[in-house]
């Protein structure tokens, strides 16, 4: 097994914090979005995040190995101890932490959780893994969903949707995505920003498809990026940056155009549109806390928009305007961004897919009448499942006579998928995304 991540920080406290952060995910009671990085010293925060995200990234495989190591399953009330065991396995198989530290400090962390009895159990399991790693891994890897560290239902869905690419898709999900930046065009060009990065010893390359994008060779703390606080750059995946590219033909020649970002949080796409075009933007989100993130994003970048805490499946004060363009980045399964949100593997359920598809359809049907004749609606998801993408748009076009598909087919990114275009996650490249650009017939 390839060891992926260098690390030299140690400590029982960070392992205990990681177990506390991971246990709610194991109990289906929370996500890694709730991870309290401030619970450990600043020098340990990168390790804490790597422990939790890396463990979630390989969770199905780690759980299968834990099942081999434990004489009997741990009780539900001891999910924090289960989390420590999974964290220990992850360190031994995937990190460069010395084995004695991975075992000793992980087992020792049980005392900080008030469960000193578990130190002996953890020590025994992890030392057995050291002795029998090859045989144990060979045994659990007989099951494809374990070997590829995905829930079986999700792997089946990938296999059905992408019979030629499903394995590469799953493997890409198991590796961290690169750190990609979006250079603010109102503060200068990408080449100038690359030069400023180089002066600081930070290397990167222009994104292949997003004109404002830079992929860094190594991730970094955003605070070290030149001009981050003053809005010169933002962190945004290359695929997400394509929404501004696709809306360009509608917005570039139309200063003052009315634009709606219907599901705006955290605000990256809205900010990109405002950086690129002189438009009047209305941003909605049904989650007040997430809408506050939009406000903070725009404030850092020095941009302005009308913000509304509103549900885009309903009408409200915001809907009294007709819009020249609508961006619908619809709520979805997130199956194209698993590498950045690996707890999706644990938290998502098969029943979520039809529920989300129904919500996406309601959003499309409620927003379409708000589009001016000749206006453009860009539908996007970070999903790779046809139910949320190609099937969704094909059904919308079938029931909406004045909608016409204008998704470009002469671009170098993604592949045709129904009436839209699908991107699958690429190693060291963009995330998985779907786009369909629809134009309303002129009156």
Helices 79-94 and 45-57 cross at an angle (nearest 10°) of 90
Q: Which of 56, 125, 332, 382 is catalytic?
A: 382
Q: Is 269 annotated as a binding residue?
A: yes
Take residue 353 and report the two structure tokens written for it: 């897919």
Q: 219 a known binding residue?
A: no
Q: Is 263 annotated as a binding residue?
A: yes
Query: 266 among the known binding-site residues?
Result: yes
Question: 319 labelled as ligand-binding?
Answer: no
CB 435 within 8 A of CB 421: yes
Tell me if 442 is assigned to a ligand binding site: no
Nearest 5°: the CA angle 258, 279, 227 is 145
Q: Rounded to the nearest 5°, which phi and psi values hold at 182?
A: -120, 120
Phi and psi (nearest 5°) for 174?
-90, 5
Sequence-distant (≥ 6) Cβ neighbours of residue 88 within 8 angstroms: 102, 103, 106, 107, 122, 125, 126, 129
Q: What are the C-alpha distances in Å from 342 to residues 27, 91, 147, 175? A: 15, 17, 16, 10
Task: Provide the H-helix boundaries in 70-98.
Answer: 79-94
Phi, psi of 105 (to 5 degrees): -80, -30
User: Would residue 382 show up in a list of annotated catalytic residues for this protein?
Assistant: yes
The angle formed by the CA atoms of residues 359, 365 and 367, to the nearest 5 degrees, is 100
Does an H or E element contain 135, and which?
helix 118-140
- Phi, psi (5° rounding) for residue 271? -65, -40
Residue positions counted in the chain = 443
264 annotated to bind ligand: yes
- Is 311 labelled a binding residue? yes
Q: Encoding tokens for residue 30?
A: 């929370």
Is the Cβ–Cβ distance between 27 and 118 less than 8 Å?
no
Work out the angle between the directed axes of helices 99-112 and 79-94 (0-180°, nearest 10). Answer: 170
- Integer Cα distance of 37 and 15 in angstroms: 12
Residues 431/340, Cβ–Cβ less than 8 Å: yes
Q: Could you give the residue numbers annotated as active site?
A: 382
Binding-site residues for S-adenosyl-L-methionine, please? 263-269, 285, 311, 329
Binding-site residues, please? 263-269, 285, 311, 329
């Amino acid at each position: 097994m390839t060891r992926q991540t260098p690390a030299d920080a140690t400590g029982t406290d960070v392992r205990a914090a990681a177990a506390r952060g991971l246990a709610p995910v194991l109990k289906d009671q929370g996500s890694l979005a709730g991870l309290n990085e401030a619970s450990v010293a600043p020098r340990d925060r990168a390790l804490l995040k790597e422990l939790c995200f890396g463990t979630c990234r390989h969770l199905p495989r780690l759980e299968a190995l834990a099942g081999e190591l434990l004489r009997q399953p741990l009780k539900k009330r001891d999910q924090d101890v289960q989390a420590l065991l999974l964290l220990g396995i992850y360190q031994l198989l995937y990190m460069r932490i010395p084995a004695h530290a991975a075992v000793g400090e992980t087992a020792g962390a049980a005392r900080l959780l008030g469960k000193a009895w578990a130190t002996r159990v953890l020590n025994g399991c992890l030392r057995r893994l050291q002795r029998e790693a090859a045989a144990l891994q060979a045994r659990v890897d007989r099951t494809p969903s374990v070997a590829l560290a995905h829930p079986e239902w999700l792997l089946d869905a990938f296999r059905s949707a992408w019979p030629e690419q499903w394995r590469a898709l799953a493997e890409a999900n198991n590796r961290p995505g690169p750190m990609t930046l979006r250079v603010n065009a109102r503060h200068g060009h990408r080449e100038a920003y690359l030069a400023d990065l180089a002066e600081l010893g930070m290397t990167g390359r222009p994104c292949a498809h997003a004109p404002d994008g830079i992929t860094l060779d190594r991730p970094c703390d955003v605070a070290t990026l030149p001009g981050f606080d003053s809005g010169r750059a933002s962190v945004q995946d290359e695929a997400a940056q394509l929404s501004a590219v696709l809306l360009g033909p509608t917005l570039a020649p139309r200063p003052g155009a009315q634009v709606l970002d219907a599901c705006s949080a955290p605000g990256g796409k809205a900010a990109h549109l405002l950086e690129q075009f002189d438009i009047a933007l209305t941003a909605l989100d049904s989650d007040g806390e997430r809408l506050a993130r939009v406000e903070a994003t725009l404030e850092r970048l020095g941009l302005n928009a009308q913000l509304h805490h509103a549900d885009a499946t309903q009408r409200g004060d915001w809907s009294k305007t007709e819009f020249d363009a609508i961006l619908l980045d619809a709520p979805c399964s997130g199956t194209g961004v698993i590498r950045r949100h690996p707890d999706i593997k644990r938290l998502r359920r098969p029943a979520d897919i039809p529920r989300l598809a129904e919500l996406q359809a309601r959003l499309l049907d409620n927003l379409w009448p708000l589009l001016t004749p000749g206006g453009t609606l860009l539908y996007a998801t970070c999903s790779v499942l046809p139910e949320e993408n190609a099937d969704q748009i094909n059904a919308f076009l079938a029931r909406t006579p004045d909608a016409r598909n204008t998704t470009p087919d002469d671009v170098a990114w993604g592949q045709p998928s129904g009436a839209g275009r699908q991107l699958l996650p690429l190693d060291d490249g963009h995330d998985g995304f779907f786009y369909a650009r629809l134009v309303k017939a002129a009156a």
